[in-house]
C-alpha cells in the first residue's frame, strides 16, 4: 500500500468504488469518468507504479490481468470487442500512478 495512492485506497476499502470483480491479486471497478458506455479498469492489488516499474516477478500477474479483460468485457455486454489501454508515465498520459488496464467499449470503434 502506497500512501496517497487513490487506487491503493480503493483496494484497502478506504474509498468506495463501483467494483465488478475482485480476487486475492486483482480488483476491477468502473471508471469514475467513463469515456464510453462501458469503461472499467483492472488493477493489481500490489502497488506497481506503472508498466515501466513492473518486472519479472509480475509476469503471471500481468498475464492474469490480460486474460481477465475479455471475461469481464463479455460480462459487461461487450460481445463484439473492446479496447484495452495502458497509459505509462507522464509522457504516456498516466494520471494515477498505480498500474491499471482500461477496458473500454460500447461507444463505437474509437471511443476514447
Ligand atoms: P490514467 O490516465 O490511465 O492514469 O487513468 C486514470 C483513470 O482513473 C481516469 O480515467 C480516471 O477517470 C480514473 N479514476 C480516477 N479516480 C478514480 C476513482 N476514485 N474511481 C474510479 N476511477 C477513477
Ligand atoms: Zn497504489
Residue 1 pLDDT > 80: no
- Give the per-residue pLDDT at 107: 79
Ion ligand 2 neighbours (CB, 5 A) are 2, 5, 7-8, 47, 98
- Render pLDDT for 18-59 as a digit per residue (tens, 0 to 9): 999 999 999 999 999 999 999 999 999 999 999 999 999 999
Ligand 1 neighbours (beta carbon < 6 A): 6, 17, 29, 31-33, 87, 93-96
pTM above 0.75, yes or no: yes
d(CA 43, CA 87): 13
Domains of the chain with CATH codes:
6-94+101-105 (3.30.428.10)
Classify residue 44 as exposed, middle or buried by CB count within 10 Å of its CB (0-12, 13-18, 19+).
buried
Q: Model confidence at 112, in pLDDT bands (50, 70, 90)?
A: low
How far is C-alpha 89 from the chain's CA centre? 15
pLDDT digits (tens, 9 = 90+) for 76-109: 999 999 999 999 999 999 999 999 999 999 977 6
Amino acid at each position: 500500500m502506497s500512501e496517497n495512492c487513490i487506487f491503493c485506497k480503493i483496494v484497502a476499502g478506504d474509498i468506495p468504488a463501483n467494483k465488478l470483480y475482485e480476487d486475492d491479486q486483482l480488483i476491477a471497478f468502473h471508471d469514475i469518468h467513463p469515456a464510453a458506455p462501458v469503461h472499467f479498469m483492472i488493477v493489481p492489488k500490489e502497488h506497481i507504479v506503472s508498466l515501466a516499474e513492473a518486472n519479472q516477478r509480475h509476469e503471471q500477474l500481468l498475464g492474469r490481468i490480460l486474460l481477465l479483460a475479455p471475461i469481464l468485457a463479455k460480462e459487461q455486454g461487450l460481445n463484439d470487442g473492446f479496447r484495452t489501454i495502458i497509459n505509462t508515465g507522464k509522457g504516456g498520459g498516466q494520471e494515477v500512478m498505480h498500474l491499471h488496464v482500461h477496458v473500454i467499449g460500447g461507444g463505437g470503434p474509437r471511443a476514447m
